[in-house]
């Protein structure tokens, strides 16, 4: 099968370790992924989580670009609701000028944290003029392209510098609506299968993007490889997620029922419901994981998988990317 493999990294902090050690291991993983022939290495954005060191993907991107030479490095993704589109455009134009042709701007819609961190990130926002996500994404695209309409209130503001090759732009989402937003605004699309693996929704979302653009979307998913299937399943463990639905219409994915209750309390919402999601983790030997990816490639026409490995232990993650590369990546080296 002919498709690309990429990695999505959270900089997990194992028990007894530190954020500094986790970020050092992220650097080592990126360097090894490059040597093994992976196409991209993306960094998550999360806030206020003691188990995750990946708070500022733009900083990690610059760090990894300086320590690699060919692999694409990007965000998976910048949580745009917190930031000025102008500043995001400036930041990624600088990154793309530092490493032309190697930078990806992946954008996500989620808050990436609990309400307290969201309030802190948005404490200077104008609460009277909340911006719709689609409007923010369109504005970001205009700043990247220098195409802000003359009647736009920010017309005349130019995001600089102009890189030799603009950053790739990818919207991460989990619905046909997100797919169509990406298509309408000219962005690539990555379906977040690690958050919403419902087969029918996967099919509708990927097909919506393909029908609208004629291009193949990316598919993000959980996968983990070990020498035996039992070992892979033991290390990956049962994966469960809680989808919180607030009466305000907002929904968010959280790790536990306790976290969902805390999110609702902090948001000041007493009326809510939760549903338990069991994201699919492709766990097994390299051959077994390859067989599942081959089937997804055949079924959906996906040309690139973005793999997140839900295991904190560094040695196990390193072994997993090496085993997977040995089975799938033609350029893999020892």
Exposure letters 153-187 (e unless 16+ CB within 10 A, then b):
eeeeeebeeebeebbbbbbbbbbbebbbbbbeeeb
β-bridge pairing 103-108 and 218-225: unpaired
Dmax over CA atoms of the chain, in Å, equals 61
CA angle (103 as vertex; 12, 13 as ends), nearest 5: 5
Model pLDDT, residue 241: 76
Confidence band, pLDDT 50/70/90 cuts, at residue 329: low
Task: Please say if the pLDDT value at position 70 is more than 80.
Answer: yes
Strands (E), the chain: 4-9, 40-43, 72-75, 78-79, 103-108, 168-173, 188-192, 218-225, 241-246, 251-254, 272-277, 281-284, 304-308
Res. 75 pLDDT band, cuts 50 70 90: very high
Predicted TM-score of the model (pTM)? 0.92
Three-class secondary structure of residue 64 per DSSP:
helix
Between β-strands 281-284 and 4-9, what pairing exists: parallel, antiparallel or unpaired?
unpaired
Q: Mean of the pLDDT values across residues 306-326?
A: 96
pLDDT reported for residue 131: 85
Q: What percent of the chain has pLDDT over 90?
A: 75
Q: Would you place residue 266 in the very low, low, confident or very high pLDDT band (cuts 50, 70, 90)?
A: confident
Report the C-alpha dihedral over residues 182, 308, 82, 93, rounded to 10 degrees.
Answer: -70
Q: Contact at 8 Å (CB) between 49 and 6? A: no
CA dihedral (46, 47, 50, 55) positive or negative: positive
Q: How many CB atoms lie within 10 A of CB 285?
A: 18
- 113-152 pLDDT, tens digit per residue, is 888 898 899 988 888 888 899 999 999 999 999 999 999 9
Q: What is the pLDDT of residues 76-97, one digit of tens each?
A: 999 999 999 999 999 999 999 9
Q: Which class would CATH give 4-237+280-328? A: alpha beta
Rounded distance, CA 111 to CA 194, Å? 17
Taking the C-alpha atoms of residue 158 and residue 49, their distance in angstroms, rounded to an integer, is 35
- Looking at the DSSP bridge assignments, the partners of residue 281 are 222
What residues does 283 pair with on adjacent strands? 224
Phi and psi angles of residue 189, each rounded to the nearest 5 degrees, phi first:
-135, 135
pLDDT at 242: 83
Please give the share of the chain, as a percent, with pLDDT higher than 70.
98
* E strand or H helix at 41: strand 40-43
| Residues 167, 196: Cα–Cα separation, whole Å | 27
Query: Is the N-terminal amide bond of 77 cis, ω within 30° of 0?
Result: yes
Pairwise CA distance, residues 43 & 59, whole Å: 10
Higher pLDDT, 275 or 3: 3
pLDDT tens column, 192-248: 998 777 889 999 999 999 999 999 999 999 999 999 999 999 999 877 778 889 888
- Whether 331 has a pLDDT exceeding 60, the answer reads no
Domain positions in the chain are 4-237+280-328, 240-277
């Amino acid at each position: 099968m002919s498709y690309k493999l990429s990695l999505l990294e959270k900089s997990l902090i194992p028990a007894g370790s530190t954020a500094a050690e986790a970020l050092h291991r992220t650097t080592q993983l990126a360097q090894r992924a490059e040597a093994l022939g992976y196409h991209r290495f993306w960094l998550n954005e999360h806030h206020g989580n003691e188990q995750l060191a990946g708070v500022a993907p733009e900083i990690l991107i610059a760090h990894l670009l300086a320590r690699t030479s060919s692999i694409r490095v990007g965000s998976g993704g910048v949580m745009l609701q917190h930031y000025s589109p102008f500043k995001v455009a400036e930041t990624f134009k600088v990154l793309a000028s530092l490493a032309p042709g190697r930078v990806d701007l992946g954008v996500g819609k989620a808050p990436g944290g609990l309400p307290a961190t969201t309030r802190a990130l948005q404490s200077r926002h104008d609460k009277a003029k909340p911006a719709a996500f689609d409007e923010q994404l369109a504005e970001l695209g205009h700043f990247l392209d220098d195409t802000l309409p003359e009647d736009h209130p920010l017309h005349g503001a130019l995001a600089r510098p102009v890189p030799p090759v603009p950053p790739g732009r990818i919207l991460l989402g989990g619905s046909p609506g997100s797919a169509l937003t990406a298509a309408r605004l000219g962005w690539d699309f990555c379906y977040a299968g690690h958050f919403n693996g419902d087969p029918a929704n996967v099919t509708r979302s990927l097909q919506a993007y393909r029908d609208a653009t004629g291009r193949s979307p990316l598919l993000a998913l959980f996968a983990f490889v070990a020498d035996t299937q039992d070992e892979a399943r033991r290390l990956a463990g049962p994966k469960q997620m809680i989808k919180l639905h607030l009466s305000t219409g907002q929904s968010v994915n959280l790790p536990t029922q306790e976290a969902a209750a805390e999110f609702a309390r902090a948001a000041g919402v007493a009326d809510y419901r939760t549903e338990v999601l069991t994201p699919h983790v492709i766990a097994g030997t390299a051959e077994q994981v390859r067989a599942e990816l081959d089937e997804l490639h055949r079924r959906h026409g996906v040309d690139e998988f973005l793999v997140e490995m839900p295991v904190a232990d560094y040695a196990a993650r390193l072994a997993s990317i090496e085993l997977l590369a040995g089975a799938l990546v033609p350029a893999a080296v020892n």
